[in-house]
């Protein structure tokens, strides 16, 4: 019962060593652990693929593969692979993955709310500048996407006293203190009353390019944007004109169309853009291993893994 690890960004050793105590029935230091592309062995041996941004086509020639387990929440890169086998595909659901994203969103919202970036600008200029205080109840935070990540971030921000609203494709049960919107008209209503917009949507055909000039124009002048979902959500060419013209005050970006963000890209040096290296909530093997091992056991026992992706919806 062999596992295949395939990733263009993660090393396999830490996942192997962290999973091994949870799967003592498998020899993960020996023949039951394979790695693409150098240690695949006989492709017919492989039953479960553990992947994060795998090389396109790498799963196509595995005749006995039963399931694909993604080592993160987003599956857009996987679904873009036209050779991806039509097999059960599960995404990572892990409490630490969720809390990590909430930490990032709260950090970014608080930095924007308190003017932390303005203080940093003042320090670089050698300028002592006291900023006025603001009541979080008067700061309207809008969250696009109310799945596992968005709902938890909304809960945390509401607990801090912010005025929080969220938008989703369909109605959702929401944490206390969070106002919900859904559908196209609901999106426009949310945007009109949002000072800090947080994008945590899945990347689908419908949401690609949603952060564009038209959306920015629907926000109150001087609003800020946080994108911690996927680079494909943002029309990058629309962002800098919105910042330079004052429609947006700042942008905090963790994800980009091309990663790593190329040297010389204007986001690196724009004074009102904060760049982080797609690190808002990295998967932590020690936290993810118990749930991942349980899903592997389900597959090897002939059952469906949990947290299946709806391929039609794209998440």
- Residues belonging to the active site: 230, 278
Distance, CA of 112 to CA of 258 (rounded, Å): 25
Closest CA to 181 of 234, 218, 214, 208: 218
Task: Give the CB-side neighbour count of residue 194, counting CA atoms within 13 A.
Answer: 33
Q: Angle between the 116-124 and 95-114 helix axes, to the nearest 10 degrees?
A: 60
Q: Under a CB-based contact definition with an 8 Å cutoff, are residues 156 and 98 in contact?
A: no
Q: Under a CB-based contact definition with an 8 Å cutoff, are residues 22 and 289 in contact?
A: yes
- Convert 180-219 to b/e letters by CB count within 10 Å (16 or more is b): bbbeeebbebbbeebbbbbbbbbbbeebbebbbeebbebb
Distance, CA of 271 to CA of 165 (rounded, Å): 28
Closest CA to 81 of 56, 49, 54: 56
Distance, CA of 167 to CA of 161 (rounded, Å): 19
Cis peptide before 37 (omega within 30 of 0): yes
- Convert 239-261 to b/e letters by CB count within 10 Å (16 or more is b): bbebbeeebbbbbbbbbbeeeeb
């Amino acid at each position: 019962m062999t596992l295949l690890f395939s990733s263009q960004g993660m090393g396999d050793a830490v996942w192997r060593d962290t999973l091994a105590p949870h799967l003592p029935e498998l020899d993960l230091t020996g023949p039951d652990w394979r790695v693409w592309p150098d240690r695949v062995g006989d492709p017919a041996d492989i039953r479960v693929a553990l992947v994060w941004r795998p090389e396109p086509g790498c799963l196509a020639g595995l005749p006995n593969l039963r399931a694909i387990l993604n080592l993160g929440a987003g599956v857009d890169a996987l679904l873009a692979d036209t050779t991806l086998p039509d097999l059960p595909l599960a995404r990572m659901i892990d409490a630490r993955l969720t809390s990590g994203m909430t930490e990032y969103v709260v950090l970014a919202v608080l930095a924007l709310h308190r003017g932390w970036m303005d203080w940093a600008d003042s320090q670089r200029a050698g300028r002592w500048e006291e900023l006025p205080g603001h009541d979080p109840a008067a700061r309207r935070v809008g969250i696009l996407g109310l799945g596992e990540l968005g709902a938890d971030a909304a809960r945390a921000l509401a607990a801090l006293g912010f005025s929080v609203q969220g938008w989703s494709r369909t109605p959702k049960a929401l944490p206390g203190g969070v106002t919900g919107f859904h559908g196209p008209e609901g999106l426009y209503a949310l945007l009109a009353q949002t000072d800090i917009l947080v994008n945590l949507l899945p990347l689908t055909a419908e949401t690609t390019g949603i952060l564009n000039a038209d959306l920015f124009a629907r926000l109150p002048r001087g609003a800020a944007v946080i994108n911690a979902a996927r680079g494909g959500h943002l029309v990058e060419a629309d962002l800098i004109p919105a910042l330079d013209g004052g429609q947006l005050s700042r942008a905090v970006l963790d994800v980009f169309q091309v990663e790593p963000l190329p040297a010389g890209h204007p986001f690196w040096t724009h004074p009102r853009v904060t760049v982080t290296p797609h690190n808002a909530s990295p998967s932590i093997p020690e936290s993810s291993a118990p749930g991942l091992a349980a899903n592997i056991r389900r597959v090897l026992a002939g059952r469906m893994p949990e947290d299946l992706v709806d391929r039609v919806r794209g998440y």
